[in-house]
Amino acid sequence: MINTLKSISIFTLLLFMPLVSFAAVVNSSVGMIDGMYAYDDFGAQDRFEGADVAVWFKTGLSECSAGVWLTPSAPGYQTLVSFLLTAYTTKQRVKFQVYNDRIWTGSSNKLCQIDAIRFE
């Protein structure tokens, strides 16, 4: 009886495993930043300087087609913010590397969390 239950459990797990969506770090399309919002308190955390930065950008990704966002708890936050400002003010073409499972809660538009930014 116990072996039968184990077999059924393993079979069920294997049957539904392909339906599970796995998170990944993915690349956006290349383009220019359309706009940026910097918040004074949304996303602010006690032990970090700053708050969330939302970036409006056509990512080409279904998970977050409207853009990307940055949290102050991200390693390299200040460096990434300076890259964002430089790219936006100079109209530099960029490509983002993002976490497709970390969606920003500050908007009804879906934005993926930034892992890296590259000038193209």
Q: Centre a 10 Å sphere on the Cβ of residue 93 and count the other Cβ atoms it contains.
A: 12
Which of the 8 DSSP states describes residue 39? -
Q: How far apart are CA 51 and CA 39, in angstroms?
A: 6
Question: What ranges do the domains of the chain cover?
Answer: 23-119
To the question of domain 23-119 being in CATH 3.40.50.300, the answer is no
pTM: 0.76
Q: How confident is the model at residue 44 (pLDDT cuts 50, 70, 90)?
A: low
Q: How far apart are CA 46 and CA 36, in angstroms?
A: 23
- pLDDT, tens digit (0-9, with 9 covering 90-100), for 52-106: 999 999 999 999 999 999 999 898 999 999 999 999 999 999 999 999 999 999 8
Q: What integer pLDDT is reported at residue 41 of this predicted model?
A: 62
Which of 113, 32, 27 is closest to 76 using CA atoms?
A: 113
